[in-house]
Amino acid sequence: MSEERVGVYVCHCGTNIAKTIDVQDVATWAARQPHVTVARDYKFMCSSLGQEMVEQDITEHGLTRVVVAACSPHMHEKTFQGACERAGLNRFMFEMANIRELNSWTTRDRESATQKAKSMVRGAVERVIHHRPLEMLPVPINPNTLIVGGGIAGITAALDIANAGYHVYLVEREPSIGGHMAQVDKTFPTLDCSACILTPRMVDVGQHPNITLLSYSELEQVDGHVGNFTVRVRKKARFINEALCTGCGDCIEKCPGKALDETFEVGLGYRKAVYKPFPQAVPKYPVIDPESCIFFQRGKCKACEVVCPTHAIDFNQKDEYLQLTVGNIILATGYDLFDARKIPQYGYGRLANVFTSMEFERMVNAAGPTDGQIVLRDGITPPKSVGIIHCVGSRDKHYHEYCSRVCCMYSLKFAHLIHERLPDTEVYNFYIDIRASGKRYEEFYHRVLEEGTHFIRGRVAEVTDAARMPGEEGKLIIQVEDTLIGKQRRIPVDMVILSVGVQSRHDSQEVAQLFGMGCDFNGYFIERHPKLDPVLTMSDGVFIAGACQGPMAIPETVAQAGSAASQVISLISQGTLMMEPIRARINADKCSGCRICNNLCPYYAITFHEDRKVSEVITAMCQGCGACVSACPSSAITGAHFTTEQVMSQIEGILWDVRETIPLMARS
Amino acid sequence: MKYSYYPGCSLERQASAYHQSTMAVARPLNIDLVELEDWNCCGAIEYIAVDLLPAYALISRNLALAANQNGPGNHQLVAPCSACYLNLSKADKYMSDSPELAEKVNIALAAGGLSYTPGTIRTRHLLDVIVNDVGLDAIKERVTNPLYNLRVAPYYGCVVVRPGFNNQFDDTEYPTSMDRLLRTLGAKVIDFPLKSHCCGGHMTQISQGVALELIRRLLKNASDYQADVIVTLCPMCQLNLDAYQDSVNKHFGTDYTIPILYFTQLIGLALGLPATELGFGKEFVDARPALARIGSQPDMTDTAGLRRDKKALPMPRMTGEV
């Protein structure tokens, strides 16, 4: 090893590192360490000047290895590998010491941070001298894409990719695509009819030759890696033969079974046992719900079978399992709404005339349960006064600390719609702050102000029907501290609308697990970088779009979906992808054929050769996790770039200042 | 199930009906309440406002006694009075959070030859024990005289659900434990909107006008909902609503006659225990006319209000609750 010449570069990262770590001291110290030929500190190593410095040193000093002590390798490993390569050094003869996220950002103790930085640098140096040149692995990219979720995000991404000429599988859990946007009446601030702008795109999806629409289907399993995923989809039994059904709706008309529609109509309306969530549903085929179907429950009826002109009803249909191979996946799984029952003092579920925002959205929709009439729970009386309570479940440390970002605007929209339909009705908005920070949002707020909506600033304490004063009898009383006048107020109204916040899908954790990626504390999928890579995830080839990443309104959702689609298209158009060659390899001479690794591999990347009684890693499927390497009792498996020698040397380097020699595991 | 029992001063005198009925129902519900020997005042509401350290020392003496009398291990101390429950929980919690406070309190306790390690004793409210340890199923099995047709307003008061500590057992703003318990006993439980509002507390002594208004609201609301009785779990609430009902009527020109009972008294009735063992007759507002409404059969004609018009929109489905 004595001929190895290592260059060490310590980055200030402005003050991010230099504030806490004495970078000059680390560089001066590093220069005196074994194998180190040159060591420098520099304000921004990632700048082009910083990179040129590395390239120049490689040429002038004949460096054979490079260590950069800076930020996380997630940020700039590729940057410096590129610099090495430009100067003629194999990109794997490089090692990064993360002295920012793992050091300077975690403490204010300058002395120990500097000491730790030295240890990390020494570990990186000891490791890098054992690095071996490796070549990137070309992987062909399957041009098909899977999109999970058929809301506006999934629809947009599917159309963008399909229009570029690539095939898309769009998987949707519900019987129809459309998502929450299909439930909404008008969109803010333009007051476009939501269905009118959405349904043309739904139709496009349904008819597009490049889109395979798998509605009423759920994702069960995901294997593989970027460029080559295998997914298993369960197509739930519709009990309707899609090949025969014309979508005429005769079965729905004649069905005597009725059930509360708790999904699309959020419990405010009913549907038949055979149903389409809404008239413009895509695909047009209905679904039979066995829970409410009289035939499934009592063994008699089959009215639908009798009336179906094309004999498309099939009570014996079973769930179907499909195996799809795709190169990329976009998750557009959307959001759930906060459950207003969790705040019992607001009376939802107890007090009849307390509604959630989605209930109101359905009520005000001409296709909804009241044909667009704004009425109390009795179904007939229009309210003379309505209180709209903002931030229900949002901006509240008991529930969600974050702002749901859409509630202010939809609440203003409700106020406008009430004024429009019931001009004599008083509308009160109870808000904490009005957040109207989008294009033409503030203008809309002013419009609603001018229409005469009352705005009361303060978080509502409770909604009660306990009358205390004359004028309160028979009303819902909203008790609130008006923080602008510093007084408690009681506002009697006929109807209360709870503007519930947005929360992550109830099963987002499980979905994240399926894809080997992470959720934040609130259950939203974690993007690769919140500013610069909002639609990428830490799993290559898995993208996120829309409200599964965090609360957002339609315009941002559509923008994200487009961004995710263009990322996918650019990957597909490359044809092949260069993958890091960090893979496991089994030394056949050392393999005892015990097969412990076979079942351990989470990616099913190890096969066993019966004839020779040895195991072998399928390089294309291996993800380089290292599970087999550590489990092999014969030490027959090596992880490229993570050899025992490399890891052990790094540990010894980190422990350079420990006085006593710690007996480490014997080197293989 | 064995518990240390801390009756508190109210249950010795003014709330003796609470004590008597608690003792009466404990046996059939298999709750073994062993009264703490030599217990002292919990400091009530006032002492904490006067001087914190002596107040905590005073409260903690009871915790130390409970730990002492039960030997090693973790034990539970049951308090039927909301104020006692709050003070005992609070002292324990604050000492757990602040080792300095615990040290000072222990210096005080040492003068009496006692010591206390925070977290040793778990303080429980009697309602919590009955609903969650005994359980509604077990109670249901023992109900012999269901309280059919008695319309009850479950009144929790401000303190019992708001310690915000680890042993909080119900929703802070809209508790339902007692609602479920009373329903198990066969009573008609009204959805009492003011169930966790203030009863006036010691305002009756400081500013009677304020207290009377607070009491009036509760009586009016219960009366608006046609409650036959208001059921309490706190001696302070019971006293204010019962003893000051007459003053409210005089002050506001109203004529409320709503008896204020302890939940343990109603449990006793439903279990078929004689009224004389349950402390009845000690209340200011006579409970007998209300209790006479208890029927042998549930009144089925009283569902008129529940029938819904065909045009009416469905109500949201509630989870868990019937």
Relative orientation angle of helices B235-243 and B208-224, to the nearest 10 degrees: 90
Is it the case that residue A359 has pLDDT exceeding 60? yes
B 183-242 → A contacts, CB under 8 A: 191, 193-194, 217, 220-221, 224
Mean pLDDT to the nearest integer, A164-187: 97
CA distance B143 to A400: 42
The count of CB pairs under 8 A between chains A and B is 62
Confidence band for A668, pLDDT divided at 50, 70 and 90: very low
Which of A345, A348, A369 shows the shortest C-beta gap to B313? A369
Let me know: does A113 contact A20? Beta carbons within 8 Å.
yes
Residues in chain B with CB shorter than 8 Å from the CB of A462 are 173
Q: Counting every residue, how long is chain A?
A: 668
Q: Which of A258, A341, A381, A478 to mutate to test the interface with B (most CBs of B within 10 A)?
A: A341
Nearest to A201 by CA among A268, A282, A94, A127: A282
Choose among A377, A464, A466: nearest Cβ to B315: A377
Q: Which residues of chain A does B316 touch, with a Cβ-Cβ cutoff of 8 Å?
A: 267, 341, 348-349, 356, 359
Query: Hey, how many other C-beta atoms are within 10 angstroms of the C-beta on B30?
Result: 11
| Residue at token pair 């001018």 | A450
Low-confidence residues in chain B, pLDDT < 70: 163-167, 300-309, 318-322
What is the β-pairing status of strands A36-42 and A137-140? Answer: unpaired
How far apart (Å, rounded) are the C-alpha atoms in residues B230 and B260? 5
3-state class (DSSP) for residue A86: helix
Residues of chain A neighbouring B176 (CB-CB closer than 8 A): 344
Amino acid at B91: A
Phi/psi of residue A565, nearest 5 degrees: -60, -45
Residues forming a β-bridge with A299: none
- Cα distances (angstroms) measured from residue A89 to each of A19, A42, A146, A198: 32, 21, 38, 53
Residue of A nearest to B176 (CA): A344
Q: Is the per-residue pLDDT at A662 higher than 60?
A: no
Mean local confidence (pLDDT), A151-165: 98
Neighbours of A471 (CB within 10 A): 10
Cα separation, B129 vs B124, in Å, equals 7
Going by pLDDT thresholds of 50, 70 and 90, the confidence category of residue A660 is low
Interchain contact, A341 vs B318, CB within 8 Å: yes
Nearest partner of A201 among A156, A263, A169, A147, judged by Cα: A156
What is the DSSP secondary structure assignment for residue B134, as one 8-state letter?
A: I
Q: Which domains does chain B have, with CATH numbers?
A: 2-126 (1.20.1050.140), 143-299 (3.40.50.11810)
Angle at A71 between CA A70 and CA A74, to 5 degrees: 135
Rg of chain B over CA atoms, in angstroms?
A: 21
- Rounded Cα distance between A147 and A180, Å, is 17
Position B321 scores a pLDDT of 43
CA dihedral A15, A16, A18, A19 (to 10 degrees): 80
- What does the pLDDT read at residue B320? 45
Percent over 70 (pLDDT), chain A: 98
B311 Cβ under 8 Å from any chain A Cβ:
yes
Average pLDDT, integer, range A247-258: 94
Looking at the complex, report in whole angstroms how far the Cα of residue B236 sits from the nearest Cα belonging to chain A.
Answer: 22
Q: Which chain A residues touch B171 with a CB distance below 8 Å? A: 344
Q: Which helix (H) or strand (E) covers residue A234, if one does?
A: strand A228-235
In angstroms, rounded to a whole number, what is the distance separating the alpha carbons of residues B201 and B220? 18
In chain B, which residues have their Cβ closer than 8 Å to the Cβ of A380?
A: 309, 311
Find chain A residues with C-beta within 8 A of B317's C-beta: 260, 262, 267, 349
| Residues 6+ positions from A454 with CB-CB distance below 8 Å | A426, A427, A428, A429
**Pair B244, B215: CB distance under 8 Å:** yes
Q: How many other C-beta atoms lie within 10 A of the C-beta of residue A375?
A: 19
3-class state of residue B81 by DSSP? coil
- Testing the interface with B: which of A271, A338, A343, A350 to mutate, by most B Cβ within 10 A? A350
Residue B209 CB neighbours (<10 A): 9
- The 3-state secondary structure of A514-582, one letter per residue: HCCCCECCCCCECCCECCCECCECCCCCEEECHHHCCCCCHHHHHHHHHHHHHHHHHHHHHCEEEECCC
- What are the tens digits of pLDDT across the range A500-539? 999 999 999 999 988 878 899 999 999 988 999 999 998 8
Q: Tokens 């909506």 correspond to what residue?
A: A453
Strand, coil or helix: A311: coil
- Find the range with the poorest average confidence among A254-258, A377-381, B33-37, B67-71: B67-71
Asked if pLDDT for residue A564 goes beyond 60, the answer is yes
CA angle B240, B244, B245 (to 5 degrees): 110
Whether A328 and A543 have beta carbons less than 8 Å apart is answered as yes
Q: DSSP assignment of B283-296, as one string?
A: SSS--HHHHTT--S
Domains observed in chain A = 6-136 (3.40.50.960), 145-236+320-334+505-576 (3.50.50.60), 250-307 (no CATH), 336-503 (3.50.50.60), 584-639 (3.30.70.20)
A349 with B194: Cβ contact below 8 A: no
- Name the band, by pLDDT with cuts 50, 70 and 90, for residue A621: confident
Contact between B58 and B40 (Cβ < 8 Å)? yes
Q: The whole model's pTM is what?
A: 0.87
- With an 8 Å Cβ cutoff, are A267 and B317 in contact? yes
Contact flag B173-A349 (C-beta cutoff 8 Å): no
Q: Which residues pair with B12 in a beta bridge?
A: none
Chain B: residue nearest A373 by CA? B313
**pLDDT value at residue B164:** 64
- Closest to A76 in 3D by CA, of A110, A109, A42, A107: A42
State the DSSP code for A240. Answer: B
Which tens digits make up the pLDDT trace of A470-500? 999 999 999 999 999 999 999 999 999 999 9
| Beta carbons of B311 and A380 less than 8 Å apart | yes
Token pair, residue B266, equals: 């109603």
The structure tokens listed for B11 are 């249950």
Assess contact for B24 and B278: CB atoms under 8 A.
Answer: yes
Beta carbons within 10 angstroms of residue A25's beta carbon: 15
Query: How high is the mean pLDDT of chain A?
Result: 94
B312 touches chain A (CB under 8 A): yes
pLDDT digits (tens, 9 = 90+) for B38-70: 999 998 777 887 888 899 999 999 999 999 998
Report which secondary-structure segment, H or E, holds A98: strand A94-98
Residue B220: list chain A partners with CB under 8 A: 467-468
Res A525: pLDDT:
97
Strand pairing category for A287-288 and A168-171: unpaired
Q: What is the β-pairing status of strands B32-35 and B2-5?
A: parallel
pLDDT of residue B322: 36
Calpha distance A235→A216 (Å, rounded): 6
- A374: nearest CA in chain B? B313
pLDDT value of position B189: 95
Calpha distance A135→A354 (Å, rounded): 64
CA distance A214 to chain B (A): 31
Structure confidence at residue B307 (pLDDT): 53
List pLDDT tens digits, range A406-462.
999 999 999 999 999 999 999 999 999 999 999 999 999 999 999 999 999 999 999
Cβ contact, residue pair A465, B193, below 8 Å: yes
pLDDT at position A665 is 52
Query: Are the beta carbons of B173 and A377 separated by less than 8 Å?
Result: no
Q: How far is CA A83 from CA A61, A91, B217, in A?
A: 15, 8, 77
Mean pLDDT across A60-89: 95
ipTM, two decimals, is: 0.87
- CA A101 to chain CA centroid, nearest Å: 23
